Amino acid sequence: MASIIGKTIRGQTYYYLREVARVNGKPKVISQRYLGKAADIEAAVNGASALPDRTQHLGFGDFAAVWGLLERLGVAAIVDEVLGGRRADAGASVGTYVCLAAANRVVAPCSKLAFSDWWQSTAGERIVHLRGSALDHRRFWDAMDAIDNAQLIEIERRVTAKVIEEFSLDCAALVLDMTNFATYIDSANDKAPIAQRGHAKQKRNDLRLVGLGLVITSDGNVPLVSHAYAGNRPDVTQFADVVGELSRRFRTVAAPGEELTLVYDAGQDSAANQAVIEATGLHFVGSLRPSDHLDLLGADNRRFRLVEGFPGLSAYETRALALGAERRVVVTHSSELHAKQRRGFAQTMAKVERDLLKLQERLSHNKTRRTRAQVEAEIAKICSPRYVSRCLRVTLTGGTAPEIRLSFEVDEEARRHLESEIFGKRVLFTDHEDWTIAEVVAAYRSQWRAEADFRQLKDPEVVSFSPMFHWTDQKIRVHVFYCVLALTVARLLCREAAKAGLEMSVRELLSTLSGIEETVLLYQGDRGRPKAKRMLTDMDPTQQRLFDLFGLAAYAPRDPVLGTTREA
């Protein structure tokens, strides 16, 4: 039975349409709809409509999903427990600032100076309840200064344990890889020794670099260990630190009898590194430098057999001396990789021939004053790309500039032999004696997961390492931590969506969530601040599924009188 009732709240009477029915023999309110004040009802009866004076549109879905996951992991509480309490006038706890920084990195990476402007464009103020002064960029810096390197490691250990426990991550197969990120730190800055010039993987050799090693799960590409290091140090020198930390963490979270296999590439190869991983008791699947094992690559093609489940891939296994011990080795040949390397080498050879022709023309027209030694050095530089010297015959005659002449030809027989011997082949090794070749190959190929995470961190739009406007070692390390935390959150969101049947990339998922906006209707009265009514925009079926999956109703705007969610 429906009826209209009134409630007096703070001297004002609000009317509701209430429906009561018997449930299990007892009367119960099964629905209640807010109608408004008497004047609102009168205006509605007379056909009038109350239009807002203005509206606002705030980002909701992406921020709420990220914040909800950070709360589910208890990141702020973990940080604050490791650091201890802060002064009452600090604005917010260090844990809260870390979560704010991570959320911004996921949704819309920006500097701390621009953070407040971004914050005003989201529903964060309603969800998190922070004073405006707490978002000053200097408060972020104060919070970052409160965390030292030892505390960062302890915080990440606890967060990792919580991630594994909360999401039941399968840690049996992990992938290790390393990269570096370009920074814009001034060359004269001596407060950031972690930022050094080195081999820039983003091809910015003019900038100082910060290195980052990650260990991620094959289950969802979720980072479990991060390690920041100076950008001028080779990856191979950081292997022991990363593996040692991984071993310590794994011992605390592994189930009884659970074994872990670490996958890494030839860039980590050294006898010392191999001794480190074997001392930990971890299993491994790695690759060896092909140039160190030409005898294995040159094996009779009849030894290769097709690998089930991998079209175009053939392999054979043997035992070989590698990195200080005899090991099980699997040599693979991929027709797809072979074709790519053939195309790449053809492009390289074409460029080399063009450069040699230009030099040949200059020499034949006496347009150079270089000595023979200088010309030989130029030829050596032109022919320096890998394998070129095996396939090219270069002849230089004459002793002085006017008489020096150059001739060259491609040795097609040597080129065919090179392709047959090297192209498309990899040399894998493992301590898994009982694994099939297909299992070894599958494990090694999971390296794409780490590469995908690094590509994500280099995406300038979402879950990005850049921009980074910090210039001290300590702040850079904190920045690295919350960037990896942001990547962890994004990967977990994608993993949960995939389990629900929604296979989406990080960018696609965040774009879909960002389409769930919060609309604020502002009604200006005769005096005072305008009254606001909030509601969510319409959702398509995919957005509705994500809304339900991530429990976004807990963060949706609620009617101030009814206490219920108001959805458009």
pLDDT per position in the chain (568 positions), as tens?
677 788 887 778 877 777 777 766 677 776 776 777 777 666 666 655 567 778 888 999 999 999 999 999 999 999 999 998 776 667 789 999 999 999 999 999 999 999 999 999 999 999 998 887 889 989 999 999 999 999 999 999 999 999 999 999 998 899 999 999 988 888 888 888 888 888 878 778 788 999 999 999 999 999 999 999 998 898 889 999 999 998 888 877 666 777 889 999 998 999 999 999 999 889 999 999 988 898 999 888 889 999 999 999 999 999 999 998 999 999 999 999 999 999 999 999 999 999 999 999 988 887 777 888 999 999 999 999 999 999 999 999 988 777 889 999 999 999 999 999 999 999 999 999 999 999 999 999 999 999 999 999 999 899 999 888 888 899 999 999 999 999 999 999 999 999 999 999 999 999 999 999 999 888 776 667 777 888 899 999 999 999 999 999 999 997 544 444 444 3
- Residue with structure tokens 């935390």? 485
- Host domain of residue 437: 287-446
Distance between CA atoms of 512 and 57, rounded to whole angstroms? 16
Residues whose CB is less than 8 angstroms from the CB of residue 83 and which lie 6 or more positions away in sequence, other chains included: 94, 95, 146, 147, 151
Domain boundary among 446, 467, 486: 446
- Is 396 part of any domain? yes
Count of CB atoms situated within 10 Å of the CB of 333: 21
CA distances from 382 to 151, 379, 389, 406 (A): 50, 5, 10, 13
pTM, two decimal places: 0.84
Distance between CA atoms of 66 and 99, rounded to whole angstroms? 9
pLDDT (0 to 100) of residue 562? 41
pLDDT (0 to 100) of residue 469? 87
**Number of domains into which the chain is organized:** 2
CA distances from 81 to 88, 140, 159 (A): 16, 18, 12
Instruction: Please name the amino acid found at residue 262.
Output: L
- Is 215 part of any domain? no
Distance between CA atoms of 79 and 66, rounded to whole angstroms? 17
Using an 8 Å Cβ cutoff, are 94 and 77 in contact?
A: no
CA distances from 243 to 87, 154, 217, 248, 273 (A): 38, 16, 14, 9, 9
What φ, ψ does residue 34 adopt, rounded to 5°? -75, 130
- Is 525 part of any domain? no
E strand or H helix at 189, and its extent?
none
Residues whose CB is less than 8 angstroms from the CB of residue 39 and which lie 6 or more positions away in sequence, other chains included: none
pLDDT (0 to 100) of residue 524? 77
Count of CB atoms situated within 10 Å of the CB of 302: 7
- Is 94 part of any domain? no
Where helices occur in 461-529 by DSSP H, the ranges are: 473-499, 506-514
Q: How many residues does the chain have?
A: 568
Distance between CA atoms of 253 and 463, rounded to whole angstroms? 27
Domain boundary among 446, 473, 501: 446
Helix (H, G, I), strand (E, B) or coil at 13: strand
pLDDT (0 to 100) of residue 516? 96
Where helices occur in 500-535 by DSSP H, the ranges are: 506-514
Distance between CA atoms of 49 and 46, rounded to whole angstroms? 9
- Is 167 part of any domain? no
- Is 45 part of any domain? yes
E strand or H helix at 293, and its extent?
none
Domain boundary among 392, 417, 446: 446
Distance between CA atoms of 7 and 500, rounded to whole angstroms? 42
pLDDT (0 to 100) of residue 560? 46
Long-range contacts of 406-412 (CB under 8 A, 24+ apart): 406/356, 406/359, 406/360, 406/363, 406/375, 406/379, 407/360, 408/353, 408/356, 408/360, 410/349, 410/353
Distance between CA atoms of 437 and 175, rounded to whole angstroms? 18
pLDDT (0 to 100) of residue 561? 42
- Is 104 part of any domain? no
- Is 3 part of any domain? yes
Distance between CA atoms of 315 and 378, rounded to whole angstroms? 40
- Residue with structure tokens 């390393």? 178
